[in-house]
Structure 1
Amino acid sequence: MRQIVLDTETTGLNARSGDRIIEIGCVEMINRQLTGNNFHHYINPERDSEEGALAVHGLTTEFLSDKPKFAEIVDEFCEYISGADVIIHNAPFDIGFLDAELQRLNMPVFKDHIGEVLDTLVQAKEMHPGKRNSLDSLCDRYGISNAHRTLHGALLDAELLAEVYLAMTRGQNSLSMDLGEEEAGGGVALEMVAIADILVHCASEEELAAHEALLDGLDKQVKGTSLWRTAPQEAA
């Protein structure tokens, strides 16, 4: 299974009003393993970033002025994502910008190039209702260090999101329960945990032999066949 974790940075928040993509970062996973085959480009948006967006990503017009335009990297991008399932945090935002860029070039929309889209924000809200589910919050919740993230960057955020996604879908790896919040009725609100990647460990020959010896001892004690050797009866 090939999955691509994707993030973008943009000049602002509204693709419909002319804001553009200035950075695309993608991380490839095959069978839940990071491959190192990443995709990353800074893009010349042919316009300035809004002040608020610039404070988030720090990519100035001057820095982006000699970078390729989206039309120059679109074929490489479409080939890279082709047929893969794509993981995005708050997918409508990034897909809206990608669709706008593709439509400027009279190309099919983003979802026509890929398999399925998995929105980790939607998934996180289902797993952790009532909690903050930003990428930073999820990093804190799953113990993923983002100390090196002083500004938003598409490739860095995609790498962090890949780690968050793997942690979210790995299954419960601790017997401890989240006792940090209580419901109004006084009960404890337990955190929902995804169940996936269950490992089955088969008993060794020595363990099987020890088990048989224990059952033999039980048979002697009851002077017959112990309950543990009795096959379960089918319901009538």
Structure 2
Amino acid sequence: MANGVFSVLDTETTGLFPGGTDRIAEIAIVRMNRHGEILDRWETLVNPQRDLGKQSLHGIQSRDLLNAPTFKDLAEELHWRLSGTVVVAHNLSFDSRFLDAEFQRAGMPLPKTLLNQGLCTMRMSHQYLQGAGRSLQDCCDSFGIEIVSAHSAGGDAAATAILLSRYMELDGQNPEWNLRLDRAAQAAWVQDSPSGRIIPVHRSSAPAHRAHHFLDRLTTRLPEFVGSEAQENYLAVLDRALLDRYLSTHEEQQLISLAGQLGLDRSGALELHKMYFQQLVRAAWTDGTVSPDEQLDLRTVADLLGLGRDLVRHSLMLPARKADNELSKAPGERTIALGSLVVLTGEMAKPRRQIEAALNAAGYVPHPAITKKVSLLVAADPDTLSGKAKKARDYGIPVASEDYLWTTLLS
């Protein structure tokens, strides 16, 4: 394999906890160079040699696995594909623990440095997307990246690759990118392709569109987490565990085990549960109301997290809303200070480069992503439901038309 590349990967699994009965059921690797160019995309279903777990979450059907290789069948090829590359994933802790367990089970462990020196786009969001939540959807919305076939390994890996390329564009002069690639290339442990190549097996169809129920929508709107890496990794697993609003006894036991592995004691995990629930409630109140069905959903989550009813009752009370006159003003009535970050979205009447040049000349700073530091989003359609617009509205950032840009901001 060619060296000096990123191996952006994603896995779909039968459950949340490796090392026991949960296994990888699908894996994808998108190779990308330092310039953000996609070199190739490889993906296959994997026979987990057990039932598929919660099929509603990953959308894989049992009939698709009839001719799928086992992970042991794939181990030699995966060594070749990963050798000499920098591994990247969104929530790398989750994928790396599954990969490590699978390679150990296959009797072909990976070099320890490979996963330990990888990049996590979820953790990197704290550097490049201040204010964003931890979900892949939330980070992609900041850049307006569409996730095609979300919750498939190939679809999520492809979106993560684009996300990484946007990070590199924001921080193009950082020598760390090339240093990591050079270090990985020098540590390559496989030089030649395997003699017997495995033919990938794909899904018979794209994952069925999953209804985005209340909890699913909330977890993409949670605020940036400012705790430790171990705490965030725990909460990322909790996001996945609660999406179907059910925790099996096995999942409860494994969450306790995971907390211990991450250095969290029982009281620390309970405090995280309280904070997590309160963040969900605040996200639920964003539109100004929480319906009876939504309250039932939240109470279900509270029970699953072992929280007391008094905390739940207090949390579900209508929150006091401070008047924010500045944010309530229309774009034309609020001051966009010189030096402010301005984001553009949509196909506009004038070329993007012309608009960016005009903004620069007027003393504003064009920016590619929505963060809490952005002062204005200019949209071809101010009523757009794009990811960028959704993020802007969540943050209270005004959304203005291209006409406003020329007649007011740049007049």
**TM-score normalized by the length of structure 1:** 0.68
Amino acid at match of 2:375: L
Which residue of the partner structure matches residue 153 of structure 1?
152
Whole-Å separation in 1 of the counterparts to 2:114 and 2:18: 20
SS of structure 2 residue aligned to 1:41? strand
Q: How does 1:1-236 map to 2 (within 5 A)?
A: 1-51=4-54, 54-109=55-110, 111-112=112-113, 116-146=117-147, 148-149=148-149, 151-171=150-170, 175-176=365-366, 178-179=374-375
Amino acid at match of 2:81: Y
Runs of 4 or more consecutive aligned structure 1 residues displaced over 6 Å after TM superposition: none
The answer to whether the 8 Å contact 1:4/1:27 transfers is yes
Q: Distance in 1 between matches of 2:93 and 2:29?
A: 17
Count of aligned pairs between the two proteins = 178
Cα distance, 1:115 vs. partner? Answer: 8.4
Separation in 1, partners of 2:69, 2:166:
35
Deviations 1:24-49 (A, max 9, x none): 10111122242432221111001112
- Are the equivalent residues in 1 in contact too, given 2:46–2:70 (CA < 8 A)? yes
- Hey, which of these two has a bigger chunk of helix by percent? 2
Label 1:37 to 1:115 Cα distance change in 2 as closer, same or farther (>3 A). Answer: farther
Paired amino acid for 2:53: E
CA distance in 2, matches of 1:154, 1:142: 21
Partner SS for 1:38: strand
The answer for unaligned runs of 5 or more in structure 2 is 172-341, 344-364, 367-372, 377-394, 396-411
Quote the offset at 1:77 in angstroms: 0.9
Residues in 2 aligned to 1:11 and 1:84: alpha-carbon distance in whole angstroms = 27
SS in 1 for 2:374: coil
Any conservation in 1 of the 2:32–2:38 contact (CA below 8 Å)?
yes
Q: CA RMSD in A?
A: 2.5
Q: Distance in 2 between matches of 1:140 and 1:16?
A: 33
Q: Distance in 2 between matches of 1:145 and 1:165?
A: 14
Q: What is the CA distance between 1:106 and its match in structure 2? A: 2.1
TM-score, normalisation: structure 2: 0.40
What SS does the aligned partner of 2:63 have?
A: helix
Counterpart of 2:52, as a letter, is S
Secondary structure at the counterpart of residue 7 of structure 1: strand
Cα pair 2:125 2:132 within 8 Å, conserved: no
Q: Determine helix, strand or coil for the equivalent of 1:170.
A: helix
The change in CA–CA distance for 1:43 and 1:110 in structure 2 (over 3 A counts) is farther
Find the residue that maps to 2:44 and give its secondary structure: strand
Residues 93-122 of structure 1 deviation map (CA, whole Å, 9 limit, x = unaligned): 001101111111222236455783011111
Structure 1: gaps spanning 5 or more residues:
181-188, 190-236
Letter of the 1:102 partner, please give it: F
Matched-pair contact (CA < 8 Å) for 2:36–2:165: no
Deviation at 1:157, TM superposition (A): 0.8
Equivalent-residue separation in structure 2 for 1:40 and 1:135 (angstroms): 19
The percentage of aligned residue pairs carrying the same residue is 32
